[in-house]
Amino acid sequence: MGGAVFKHAVFGQPIAHSLSPRIHSAFAAQFGIAIEYRAIEAGVETFANELAAFAHAGGSGANVTLPLKQIAVAQCAQVTERATRSGSVNTLTWRNGEWFGDTTDGVGFVRDLEGRYGCVLAGRHTLLLGAGGAARAVACALIDAGVDSLTIANRTHERAAELATAFIGSGDVRVCRWNEISATGALDLVVNAISAGHHDGAQFPRLGGLASNAVCYDLSYGVAAQAFLAWANAAGAARVFDGLGMLVEQAAESFSIWHGRKPETQAIFDDLRREQVERSRQTPG
Ligand code: ATR
Protein backbone atom coordinates (compact mmCIF):
# COMPACT_ATOMS: atom_id res chain seq x y z
CA MET A 1 0.00 0.00 0.00
CA GLY A 2 3.06 2.27 0.01
CA GLY A 3 2.22 5.55 -1.70
CA ALA A 4 -1.53 4.87 -1.75
CA VAL A 5 -3.69 7.99 -1.51
CA PHE A 6 -7.09 7.45 0.09
CA LYS A 7 -9.82 9.35 -1.71
CA HIS A 8 -12.45 10.96 0.48
CA ALA A 9 -15.15 13.56 -0.03
CA VAL A 10 -17.98 15.32 1.71
CA PHE A 11 -21.23 15.75 -0.23
CA GLY A 12 -23.83 18.39 0.55
CA GLN A 13 -25.47 21.63 -0.51
CA PRO A 14 -24.14 24.18 0.22
CA ILE A 15 -20.70 22.66 0.73
CA ALA A 16 -18.09 25.21 -0.36
CA HIS A 17 -17.35 26.34 3.21
CA SER A 18 -17.22 22.87 4.75
CA LEU A 19 -14.49 22.45 7.36
CA SER A 20 -14.37 18.67 6.83
CA PRO A 21 -11.50 18.66 4.27
CA ARG A 22 -9.35 20.61 6.67
CA ILE A 23 -10.25 18.54 9.74
CA HIS A 24 -9.59 15.24 7.98
CA SER A 25 -6.31 16.47 6.52
CA ALA A 26 -5.17 17.39 10.04
CA PHE A 27 -6.13 13.90 11.29
CA ALA A 28 -4.36 12.16 8.41
CA ALA A 29 -1.19 14.16 9.05
CA GLN A 30 -1.05 12.75 12.61
CA PHE A 31 -0.49 9.26 11.20
CA GLY A 32 1.32 10.07 7.96
CA ILE A 33 -1.67 8.75 5.99
CA ALA A 34 -1.99 10.25 2.51
CA ILE A 35 -5.54 11.39 1.77
CA GLU A 36 -7.28 13.56 -0.77
CA TYR A 37 -10.49 14.99 0.70
CA ARG A 38 -12.78 17.01 -1.58
CA ALA A 39 -16.00 18.94 -1.00
CA ILE A 40 -18.52 17.95 -3.68
CA GLU A 41 -21.67 19.99 -4.20
CA ALA A 42 -24.66 17.65 -4.48
CA GLY A 43 -28.36 18.06 -3.81
CA VAL A 44 -31.07 15.45 -3.41
CA GLU A 45 -31.43 15.04 -7.19
CA THR A 46 -27.75 14.76 -8.05
CA PHE A 47 -26.37 12.87 -5.04
CA ALA A 48 -26.75 9.30 -6.36
CA ASN A 49 -24.92 10.12 -9.59
CA GLU A 50 -22.18 12.08 -7.84
CA LEU A 51 -21.63 9.28 -5.33
CA ALA A 52 -21.46 6.67 -8.08
CA ALA A 53 -18.92 8.80 -9.97
CA PHE A 54 -16.87 9.14 -6.80
CA ALA A 55 -16.84 5.35 -6.25
CA HIS A 56 -15.91 4.85 -9.91
CA ALA A 57 -12.96 7.24 -9.46
CA GLY A 58 -11.66 5.17 -6.52
CA GLY A 59 -13.38 6.94 -3.62
CA SER A 60 -13.07 4.84 -0.46
CA GLY A 61 -14.91 6.89 2.14
CA ALA A 62 -17.41 9.75 2.08
CA ASN A 63 -19.23 12.01 4.47
CA VAL A 64 -22.62 13.47 3.73
CA THR A 65 -24.24 16.51 5.26
CA LEU A 66 -27.34 18.63 4.67
CA PRO A 67 -29.64 17.84 2.92
CA LEU A 68 -28.47 14.29 2.21
CA LYS A 69 -28.21 12.43 5.52
CA GLN A 70 -31.58 10.72 5.26
CA ILE A 71 -31.48 9.86 1.56
CA ALA A 72 -27.93 8.52 1.93
CA VAL A 73 -29.38 5.48 3.72
CA ALA A 74 -30.83 4.29 0.41
CA GLN A 75 -27.39 4.35 -1.23
CA CYS A 76 -26.02 1.79 1.23
CA ALA A 77 -26.09 -1.98 0.86
CA GLN A 78 -25.76 -2.23 4.65
CA VAL A 79 -26.08 0.23 7.51
CA THR A 80 -25.18 -0.04 11.19
CA GLU A 81 -27.79 -0.46 13.88
CA ARG A 82 -27.18 3.10 15.13
CA ALA A 83 -27.70 4.48 11.62
CA THR A 84 -30.93 2.52 11.27
CA ARG A 85 -32.21 3.88 14.58
CA SER A 86 -31.17 7.41 13.66
CA GLY A 87 -32.66 7.11 10.18
CA SER A 88 -29.58 8.86 8.85
CA VAL A 89 -26.12 8.17 7.48
CA ASN A 90 -23.22 10.63 7.51
CA THR A 91 -20.34 8.20 6.85
CA LEU A 92 -20.08 5.89 3.85
CA THR A 93 -17.34 3.31 3.44
CA TRP A 94 -16.70 1.48 0.19
CA ARG A 95 -16.29 -2.23 0.95
CA ASN A 96 -16.32 -5.08 -1.55
CA GLY A 97 -17.98 -3.02 -4.23
CA GLU A 98 -20.76 -1.48 -2.13
CA TRP A 99 -21.38 1.31 0.32
CA PHE A 100 -21.58 0.59 4.04
CA GLY A 101 -23.36 3.32 6.01
CA ASP A 102 -22.95 4.58 9.55
CA THR A 103 -23.75 7.70 11.53
CA THR A 104 -21.20 9.32 13.80
CA ASP A 105 -23.26 12.37 14.78
CA GLY A 106 -24.54 10.91 18.04
CA VAL A 107 -21.09 9.76 19.15
CA GLY A 108 -19.67 13.16 18.21
CA PHE A 109 -22.32 14.96 20.23
CA VAL A 110 -21.76 12.85 23.37
CA ARG A 111 -17.96 12.98 23.14
CA ASP A 112 -18.05 16.74 22.85
CA LEU A 113 -20.40 17.31 25.78
CA GLU A 114 -19.06 14.61 28.08
CA GLY A 115 -15.44 14.36 26.97
CA ARG A 116 -14.54 17.95 26.14
CA TYR A 117 -16.84 19.84 28.49
CA GLY A 118 -17.19 17.28 31.28
CA CYS A 119 -20.98 17.46 31.21
CA VAL A 120 -22.49 14.16 32.35
CA LEU A 121 -25.68 13.45 30.41
CA ALA A 122 -27.06 10.65 32.56
CA GLY A 123 -29.93 11.75 34.77
CA ARG A 124 -30.63 15.04 32.98
CA HIS A 125 -34.09 16.39 32.25
CA THR A 126 -33.71 17.25 28.62
CA LEU A 127 -35.55 19.34 26.07
CA LEU A 128 -34.79 18.72 22.41
CA LEU A 129 -35.86 21.44 19.99
CA GLY A 130 -36.46 20.15 16.46
CA ALA A 131 -37.52 16.88 14.91
CA GLY A 132 -35.50 16.63 11.71
CA GLY A 133 -32.61 14.33 10.87
CA ALA A 134 -30.17 15.97 13.27
CA ALA A 135 -32.69 15.83 16.13
CA ARG A 136 -33.29 12.16 15.50
CA ALA A 137 -29.60 11.24 15.72
CA VAL A 138 -29.19 13.26 18.90
CA ALA A 139 -32.35 11.79 20.47
CA CYS A 140 -30.83 8.31 20.08
CA ALA A 141 -27.57 9.48 21.64
CA LEU A 142 -29.33 11.16 24.57
CA ILE A 143 -31.38 8.05 25.33
CA ASP A 144 -28.30 5.82 25.09
CA ALA A 145 -26.41 8.22 27.39
CA GLY A 146 -29.11 7.71 30.04
CA VAL A 147 -30.92 11.05 30.28
CA ASP A 148 -33.70 10.91 32.84
CA SER A 149 -36.32 12.37 30.54
CA LEU A 150 -36.45 13.58 26.97
CA THR A 151 -39.08 16.08 25.85
CA ILE A 152 -39.23 16.79 22.13
CA ALA A 153 -40.75 20.01 20.78
CA ASN A 154 -40.96 21.05 17.17
CA ARG A 155 -42.58 23.86 15.22
CA THR A 156 -44.54 21.21 13.30
CA HIS A 157 -45.92 19.21 16.23
CA GLU A 158 -46.70 16.08 14.17
CA ARG A 159 -43.02 15.56 13.40
CA ALA A 160 -42.16 15.68 17.11
CA ALA A 161 -44.91 13.15 17.83
CA GLU A 162 -43.61 10.90 15.05
CA LEU A 163 -40.07 11.11 16.40
CA ALA A 164 -41.20 10.28 19.95
CA THR A 165 -43.16 7.30 18.64
CA ALA A 166 -39.94 5.85 17.29
CA PHE A 167 -38.62 5.74 20.87
CA ILE A 168 -41.58 4.10 22.58
CA GLY A 169 -40.19 1.76 25.22
CA SER A 170 -36.90 3.63 25.41
CA GLY A 171 -37.62 5.43 28.68
CA ASP A 172 -39.34 8.70 29.54
CA VAL A 173 -39.78 10.27 26.10
CA ARG A 174 -42.51 12.89 25.69
CA VAL A 175 -43.66 15.49 23.21
CA CYS A 176 -44.61 19.03 23.96
CA ARG A 177 -46.29 21.67 21.81
CA TRP A 178 -44.03 24.50 20.70
CA ASN A 179 -46.11 27.14 22.48
CA GLU A 180 -46.43 25.07 25.67
CA ILE A 181 -42.76 24.60 26.48
CA SER A 182 -43.07 26.97 29.41
CA ALA A 183 -45.01 24.17 31.17
CA THR A 184 -42.20 21.60 30.98
CA GLY A 185 -40.80 22.43 34.43
CA ALA A 186 -37.15 22.71 35.38
CA LEU A 187 -34.78 21.48 32.70
CA ASP A 188 -31.07 20.91 33.01
CA LEU A 189 -30.24 20.24 29.37
CA VAL A 190 -31.63 21.98 26.29
CA VAL A 191 -30.38 20.90 22.86
CA ASN A 192 -31.16 22.94 19.79
CA ALA A 193 -31.46 20.82 16.65
CA ILE A 194 -33.59 23.19 14.63
CA SER A 195 -31.98 24.61 11.58
CA ALA A 196 -33.55 28.03 12.12
CA GLY A 197 -30.23 29.41 13.35
CA HIS A 198 -29.08 29.24 9.76
CA HIS A 199 -31.68 31.83 8.83
CA ASP A 200 -32.46 35.27 10.11
CA GLY A 201 -35.24 35.76 12.59
CA ALA A 202 -35.10 32.48 14.52
CA GLN A 203 -37.80 32.40 17.17
CA PHE A 204 -37.08 30.26 20.23
CA PRO A 205 -39.89 29.35 22.58
CA ARG A 206 -40.27 30.66 26.09
CA LEU A 207 -39.01 28.23 28.74
CA GLY A 208 -40.63 27.43 32.06
CA GLY A 209 -37.39 27.28 33.96
CA LEU A 210 -33.80 26.18 33.83
CA ALA A 211 -32.13 24.35 36.71
CA SER A 212 -29.10 26.09 38.20
CA ASN A 213 -26.74 23.62 36.48
CA ALA A 214 -28.52 23.84 33.09
CA VAL A 215 -26.49 23.27 29.95
CA CYS A 216 -27.67 24.54 26.57
CA TYR A 217 -26.13 23.18 23.37
CA ASP A 218 -26.64 24.16 19.74
CA LEU A 219 -25.72 21.57 17.12
CA SER A 220 -24.62 24.31 14.74
CA TYR A 221 -21.66 26.58 15.32
CA GLY A 222 -20.42 30.09 14.70
CA VAL A 223 -22.92 32.65 13.49
CA ALA A 224 -25.60 29.99 13.02
CA ALA A 225 -25.59 29.23 16.75
CA GLN A 226 -25.54 32.81 18.01
CA ALA A 227 -29.30 33.37 18.30
CA PHE A 228 -29.87 30.22 20.36
CA LEU A 229 -26.85 30.79 22.60
CA ALA A 230 -27.91 34.38 23.30
CA TRP A 231 -31.41 33.14 24.14
CA ALA A 232 -29.96 30.43 26.42
CA ASN A 233 -27.79 32.95 28.26
CA ALA A 234 -30.77 35.26 28.73
CA ALA A 235 -32.78 32.31 30.07
CA GLY A 236 -30.11 31.76 32.75
CA ALA A 237 -28.17 28.74 31.44
CA ALA A 238 -25.12 27.85 33.54
CA ARG A 239 -23.12 26.79 30.47
CA VAL A 240 -23.76 27.22 26.75
CA PHE A 241 -21.94 25.49 23.90
CA ASP A 242 -22.10 25.50 20.14
CA GLY A 243 -21.54 22.38 18.03
CA LEU A 244 -18.01 23.07 16.76
CA GLY A 245 -16.66 20.28 18.95
CA MET A 246 -19.34 17.89 17.72
CA LEU A 247 -18.25 18.62 14.16
CA VAL A 248 -14.67 17.69 15.03
CA GLU A 249 -15.65 14.60 17.06
CA GLN A 250 -18.00 13.17 14.44
CA ALA A 251 -15.21 13.61 11.90
CA ALA A 252 -12.78 11.77 14.20
CA GLU A 253 -15.19 8.85 14.44
CA SER A 254 -15.56 8.76 10.63
CA PHE A 255 -11.79 8.84 10.29
CA SER A 256 -11.37 5.89 12.63
CA ILE A 257 -14.01 3.90 10.72
CA TRP A 258 -12.03 4.45 7.50
CA HIS A 259 -8.49 4.13 8.81
CA GLY A 260 -8.72 2.17 12.07
CA ARG A 261 -6.86 4.94 13.92
CA LYS A 262 -8.32 7.32 16.48
CA PRO A 263 -7.05 10.86 15.92
CA GLU A 264 -6.34 13.43 18.60
CA THR A 265 -8.96 16.19 18.26
CA GLN A 266 -8.09 19.04 20.60
CA ALA A 267 -5.46 20.79 18.45
CA ILE A 268 -7.67 21.20 15.38
CA PHE A 269 -10.61 22.16 17.63
CA ASP A 270 -8.49 24.90 19.25
CA ASP A 271 -7.36 26.19 15.83
CA LEU A 272 -10.90 26.36 14.49
CA ARG A 273 -12.20 28.02 17.64
CA ARG A 274 -9.43 30.63 17.59
CA GLU A 275 -10.21 31.49 13.97
CA GLN A 276 -13.93 31.67 14.70
CA VAL A 277 -13.31 34.11 17.57
CA GLU A 278 -11.04 36.23 15.37
CA ARG A 279 -13.66 36.34 12.63
CA SER A 280 -16.39 37.42 15.03
CA ARG A 281 -14.11 40.21 16.32
CA GLN A 282 -13.67 41.44 12.76
CA THR A 283 -17.39 41.35 12.02
CA PRO A 284 -19.10 42.12 15.33
CA GLY A 285 -22.87 41.61 15.55
P1 ATR B 1 -31.83 18.58 9.83
O2 ATR B 1 -31.32 17.38 9.09
O3 ATR B 1 -30.81 19.67 10.03
O4 ATR B 1 -32.50 18.23 11.10
P5 ATR B 1 -34.44 18.97 8.67
O6 ATR B 1 -34.73 17.50 8.68
O7 ATR B 1 -34.86 19.77 7.48
O8 ATR B 1 -32.90 19.28 8.85
O9 ATR B 1 -35.09 19.60 10.00
C10 ATR B 1 -35.02 20.97 10.25
C11 ATR B 1 -35.59 21.24 11.65
O12 ATR B 1 -35.50 22.65 11.92
C13 ATR B 1 -37.04 20.86 11.81
O14 ATR B 1 -37.26 20.48 13.14
C15 ATR B 1 -37.74 22.18 11.48
O16 ATR B 1 -39.05 22.30 11.99
P17 ATR B 1 -40.32 21.82 11.11
O18 ATR B 1 -40.36 20.32 11.23
O19 ATR B 1 -41.46 22.48 11.72
O20 ATR B 1 -40.03 22.27 9.70
C21 ATR B 1 -36.83 23.14 12.19
N22 ATR B 1 -36.95 24.53 11.71
C23 ATR B 1 -36.51 25.03 10.53
N24 ATR B 1 -36.76 26.35 10.45
C25 ATR B 1 -37.39 26.69 11.62
C26 ATR B 1 -37.92 27.92 12.17
N27 ATR B 1 -37.83 29.08 11.49
N28 ATR B 1 -38.47 27.89 13.41
C29 ATR B 1 -38.56 26.72 14.09
N30 ATR B 1 -38.09 25.52 13.63
C31 ATR B 1 -37.51 25.53 12.43
Q: Give 49 Cα–ligand 1 centroid separation in angstroms.
A: 27
Q: pTM for the full model?
A: 0.94
pLDDT, tens only, 113-124: 999 999 999 999
The catalytic residue positions are 69
Q: State the average pLDDT over residues 43-65.
A: 98
Report whether residue 220 contacts ligand 1, using a CB cutoff of 6 Å: no
| Residue 147 main-chain phi, psi, to 5 deg | -60, 150
pLDDT given at position 202: 61
User: What is the β-pairing status of strands 78-79 and 98-102?
Assistant: parallel
Report whether residue 133 contacts ligand 1, using a CB cutoff of 6 Å: yes
Name the residue at shortest CA distance from atom 29 of ligand 1: 155
How far apart, in whole angstroms, are the C-alpha atoms of residue 205 and residue 178?
A: 7
User: What is the β-pairing status of strands 35-41 and 149-154?
Assistant: unpaired
The atom number, within ligand 1, closest to the CA of 130 reads 14
Pocket test of ligand 1: the residue of 194, 221, 247 to mutate, having most ligand atoms within 8 Å of its CB, is 194
- Is the confidence at residue 199, as pLDDT, over 70? no
DSSP secondary structure letters along the chain: -TT--EEEEEEESS-TT-SHHHHHHHHHHHHT--EEEEEEE--TTTHHHHHHHHHHTTEEEEEE-TT-TTGGGGG-SEE-HHHHHHT---EEEEETTEEEEE--HHHHHHIIIIIIT----TT-EEEEE--SHHHHHHHHHHHHTT-SEEEEEESSHHHHHHHHHTTTTSSEEEEEEGGGGGGS-EEEEEEE--GGGGSTT--PPPPSEEEEEEEEEESS-THHHHHHHHHHHHTT-SEEE-SHHHHHHHHHHHHHHHHS-----HHHHHHHHHHHHHHHHHS--
Report whether residue 130 contacts ligand 1, using a CB cutoff of 6 Å: yes
pLDDT given at position 193: 94
Q: State the average pLDDT over residues 154-161.
A: 95
Q: Choose the weakest-confidence range: 89-98, 175-184, 231-240, 247-256.
A: 175-184
Name the residue at shortest CA distance from atom 6 of ligand 1: 132
Contact assessment for residue 114 and residue 175, using Cβ atoms and an 8 Å cutoff: no
Q: Choose the weakest-confidence range: 17-31, 57-71, 174-188, 247-261.
A: 174-188
Report whether residue 12 contacts ligand 1, using a CB cutoff of 6 Å: no
Q: Give 197 Cα–ligand 1 centroid separation in angstroms.
A: 10
Report whether residue 155 contacts ligand 1, using a CB cutoff of 6 Å: yes
How far apart, in whole angstroms, are the C-alpha atoms of residue 177 and residue 281?
A: 38
Q: What is the share, in percent, of the chain residues with pLDDT greater than 90?
A: 79
